[in-house]
Structures are given as C-alpha cells and as structure tokens.
Amino acid sequence: MTHVLTRSPRRRPTVIVACTILAIWIASALFAGWLSPFSPSAQLPRSKFIGPGADHLFGTDGFGRDVLSRVIAGARPVLTIAPLAVLIATIVGATLGLLTGYFGGFTDGIATRILQAIAILPPLFPAVLAVALLGRSTTVLVVVLAFAFTPIITWTVRAATLVEREKQFVEAARLRGEGTAYILGREILPNISNSIVVESTVRLADAVFAIATLAFIGLGAAPGSPDWGAQVADNRVNLQFAWWTVLFPAVAVASLVIAVSLLADVIRERRPE
Amino acid sequence: MGRLLARRIGGLAITLALTSMVVFAMTSVIPGDVARRILGREASQEAVNAKQAELGLDRPLIEQYRSWLSGFVRGDWGTSFTKGESVRSLVLTHLAHSLTLGLIAFAVLVPVALGLGLLAGLRNGTRTDRTITVLSLCGTATPEFVSGVLLLIVFSVRLDWLPSSARDEYGFRGLVLPVICLVIVCVGYVTRMVRASVIATLDRPYIRTARLKGITTRSLVRRHVLRNSLVVPITALGVQLRYLIGGLIAVEFLFNFAGIGSLLLEAAQEKDVPTLQAATLVTGVVIMLTFMLTDSVYMWLDPRVRVGAET
C-alpha cells in the first residue's frame, strides 16, 4: 500500500505512521462497541478520577467514566461529519470551478467576487454564527462546513481549469463538435483530478480541525455527543489534579489532523510529471 | 504605483460591500423573535410589537440592510441587545486587545520562521531538513486548544511558572502561553515558504558567481540568501491571517482573554445580533486592510513586482 502512495523511499516512514493512525481512528469509528472496554457513558460512582492504570488505561473522569472508551467513542462523530462536509464542498466547488473557469466572462466575474467576499472571513466565523443561531446539530455542522470550504475548492478548481482550457486537446474536442458537458467531464476533469484530490485531502484536515475547535468552544454537534473537543473543554477545570482527562482526547484530535495533513502532503508531492 | 493602488482599493471596496451583505444575510436568518428575547417572556404582545418597530425589524430586509450599512459607515453601530452598551466601543476595545496579542505573536513568529526556514533550506534533503519540515507540519495541524492545553499542563500545572489565564491582572506574563499557541499554529506555513524561497535562491546563477568569487558561506547567506527571504513572512502573513484570527476564538476562550474572538463567541451564544454583525464585519475590514498593507509592503520591497504589475 505504501509504495502506491509514494515513489520516494524517504517518505515511506511518514506514510506508514499516517496510515496507521488513520486506520486506528477509522477502526474506532466503525467498531467502537467492540473495542472499548466500557460504555463511554457508564458512570462508576466509586471510581472517580482514577489515574491511568491497569483497570483504566487512560484513567477515569469526574463522573467515573472510562476515558479510553470516551476517546474511542469520539472518533465516530468527527469521522462522519468531516468527510461528508468535504464531499459536499468538493462536488459543489468542483462544479462551480469547472463552469466559471471554462466559461469565464461576466458570470465568472460575479461568482469570483461573491466567493471572495465569503472567503475573506476566517472559515470558523460562518460556522460560529450558524451553529450558535441555528442550534447544535450534525446536519448544521455538515452544511455550514461545506459552505465554508466551497469557495476555496472552487478557487483551486477554477485555476486548474483556466490552464487546461487553453490546451489543444480541448480545442480539438471543440472542433469535433463535442458538447460542453463532454468537454468538461471527459477532457478537463480527468486532467485536474489530481489537484482536486490534493485540495480535498487538505480540506479534510481543516474540517477535522474546525469540528474539534467548534466542539471545544461549545458549538459542536448535539450536546452530550462524545466529541474530543468537548471532552477537553469539559475537563479543563480538572486540569490541576486529573491531567489524563484532558491529555488523551487532546492528543486524539491532534493525531487525526496530523495524520490527514501528512497524507495530503505526500499526495501533493507525488504529482505525476 | 498610485493608479495600481487606486484600482486595488476599488476592488477591495466592492468585495467589502459584498462581505457586508453576506454578514447581514447570515445574521438575519436567525429564527425566533429578537424583540421578545430582549423584553423577556412576560412582556405583552403590544410591547413586543412596539420594540420590533423601534428596532426596525418590521421593515423589509433590504430596507433594514440599507439603514444598518449606512449607520455602520457613519460610525453608529447600534446598542448591544444583552449588554446595553454601545457596540462600537465594545467591538473596538476587544479588537485592540486581540491586535496586541496578534502583533506580539507576529513579532515572535518572524525570527523563528526565518531561522528554521533558513536552516531547512540550506540543509535541503538532510535529516535536519526533514525533521523541521515534519515538525512544522505537525504544528500547523495541531488545533490551538490542543497545544494550549498541553502547554497549560506543563508550564502552569506541573512547573507552575506561568498563569493559566490571560486576564488583565496577570499582565504580560499571562500573554506568554497564548502567544506560543498562535506561533505554533502559524510557524509551520511560514517556515515552509521561507525554506522554498531559500532553495529557489540557492539555484540562481548569481549565487554560483558569488561562490566562485570565494565568498564565505556566512556572508553568502547574510547578503544574498537571507535578504531575498526577508519578504516571505510578510506575504505569508496575508495568507495566514484568516487562520490566525479564526484561531483567536479558541485561544481567547481557553485563556479567558477579552478579545474580538471571545466577544464574537459570546455574542453568538447570546444571539446579540448588532454585536455579531459589527464584530464580523470589522474583522473582515481588518483582514482587507492587512491584505492591502502586505501587498504595498511587498511592492515597496521588491521593485520587480511593481514593474510587472504596472504593465
């Protein structure tokens, strides 16, 4: 698997580390029930704030809940919301980017301006506004993150399309009398698919980052959902005497974003000549 | 150069006008009755209607947008629904706090990124280079609240060197950890850009000429390589700024810092619409101005851009 992803042998350790971390979290998201030693919400009143040890590898929190089980449970929400949001943003962004890049002109000018106006704000801002105003739910998160990432993806695809549309095979297809849909889908899209893949992977890391941050500031998915960011925020007050309740979910977030970013980096460098 | 700047300002004005529409549209989709939220549950329907008329909420949206925007331009940003204070002083005070934090972070960021990028670029392909590249990528990929919490565990809980909060009473010491958080998340990107610029510069023919003339490595780096890379952090700032400001929300929340990020978050949670609108739009304006500033500094430092853009 590793040699498919990278031609340079020096990068192989990076790929192995990134794929292992990713595999662990995907497994946690899929088989949380089997993997976790306890139920993530089970409260054991007589074992509050137990340090990491044989019974509880990652210790327990203030309600006597097993931290390891809660960390495992936290993989599912983030690995559902982030890929969905990025998938929507990629489909919408690639379509918009292809159309505006290929046709140019007046519509392109207007679309570019509107996208610029959205993209000028930090991606987290629309998310904070929407989640606070519309309420906390998985659907709101998916839609608002897709909205926040669409302009950036449109931008990249538009730039790549601008380059491709000048090439001779596009000209040839046009002279053959092919329709616009054929030219965009069969001639241009395959040639820019690599930049779309790179862009989506980078946005996937961004989405995980944003979801964790939103959960941390209290604007995550529905209240009570075992998000890593929310676990860090809830246990922040216990930092003085129970560091393990904060450390493990925090490391979980970082490891997932780092793994996805490393993969994005490797895919970017792999770009065929 | 003057005409170029004028055209740039015109473009920015159009984008800003559109941004204001986006902000207004986003804050106007709020479900629920703003007037009732202000007056409380027990208020009579007549009082609610009167309040709505007073706030102008019974008028068409276009009309509301026009009066909001003209008020904003004239400096009348309204009154906070929840705090009863003038939104303008509220937003500007918090913004000043955040800008201080951001500027300190930038001042720390530049030398660190230049040093690391230079080291990685000069040792291109070695173990040092790979370590710096991977570590800086990890820094960029670590959410601010994660690095913040880890820093708190080490420096505030274990070692008890620094306060865990950035409230005013802790003064400058309270700012150390928030600044480190912001630097960690931004330093990776800037380091990579510096590294790329160093590698590109080393490829130039004049470097070979200088080497053949027998210049020492130290003065080669100082006079030819570093000078070319100095401009990189400034242009990188333009790209990073949105993420820096987005990151402020989490950092300010974690360290109880009264900046624009925590103001926005509080206003969003309390559905304080005037504060939300003003804080978001002002952030957009600040980002725009910084873009312009970095562009102008870049043009000023690098005559090639100036000539290229003019034609």
For B60-114, the DSSP string reads: -HHHHHHHHHHHHHHT---B-TTT-SBHHHHHHHHHHHHHHHHHHHHHHHHHHHH
pLDDT value of position A196: 92
Using an 8 Å CB-CB cutoff, list chain B residues near A132.
Answer: 265, 268-269, 271
User: What percent of chain A has pLDDT above 70?
Assistant: 93
Using an 8 Å CB-CB cutoff, list chain B residues near A212.
Answer: 143, 145-146
Using an 8 Å CB-CB cutoff, list chain B residues near A128.
Answer: 249, 264-265, 268
> How many CB atoms are located within 10 Å of the residue A76 CB?
17
**At B254, phi and psi to the nearest 5?**
-65, -40
pLDDT value of position A7: 55
A48 pLDDT band, cuts 50/70/90, is confident
pLDDT value of position A271: 57
Interval A185-203: pLDDT, tens: 888 899 898 889 989 999 9
Of the candidates A76, A85, A18, A59, the residue with the CA atom closest to the CA atom of residue A228:
A76
Say if residues B163 and B156 touch (Cβ distance below 8 Å). Answer: yes
Give A 140-199 residues with CB within 8 A of chain B.
Answer: none
Calpha distance B203→B96 (Å, rounded): 43
Calpha distance A82→A141 (Å, rounded): 9
pLDDT value of position B8: 74
Closest residue on chain B to A126 (Cα)? B26
Residue A20 CB partners (closer than 8 Å, separation 6+): none
**Is pLDDT above 80 for B280?**
yes
What kind and span of H or E run contains A168?
Answer: helix A168-176
pLDDT value of position B167: 67
Check CB contact of A237 with chain B, cutoff 8 Å: no
Which amino acid appears at position B201 of this protein?
T
Interval A230-273: pLDDT, tens: 888 888 888 778 888 888 888 999 999 999 988 888 888 765 53
Using an 8 Å CB-CB cutoff, list chain B residues near A125.
Answer: 246, 264, 280, 283
Closest residue on chain A to B238 (Cα)? A120
Using an 8 Å CB-CB cutoff, list chain A residues near B15.
Answer: 113, 116-117, 120
How far B152 CA lies from chain A's nearest CA (Å)?
8
CB contact under 8 Å between B15 and A129, yes or no, is no
CB contact under 8 Å between A209 and B150, yes or no, is no
pLDDT value of position A183: 87
pLDDT value of position A1: 44
pLDDT value of position A130: 81
Mean pLDDT of chain B: 80
**At B128, phi and psi to the nearest 5?**
-60, -45
Mean pLDDT in residue range B220-228: 80
Higher-pLDDT residue of B208 and B28 is B208
CB contact under 8 Å between B15 and A14, yes or no, is no
Q: Give CA separation, A121 vs A148, B37, B225, B285, B297, in Å.
A: 9, 28, 34, 9, 22
**Is pLDDT above 60 for B104?**
yes
**Is pLDDT above 90 for B171?**
no
Calpha distance B272→B83 (Å, rounded): 9
Residue B283 CB partners (closer than 8 Å, separation 6+): A121, A122, A125, B245, B260, B264
Give B 22-51 residues with CB within 8 A of chain A.
Answer: 22-23, 26-27, 29-31
pLDDT value of position B249: 87
Positive or negative torsion for Cα B42, B43, B46, B52: negative
Residue where the block lists tokens 């949206």: B61
Mean pLDDT in residue range B131-149: 87
Calpha distance B165→B285 (Å, rounded): 29
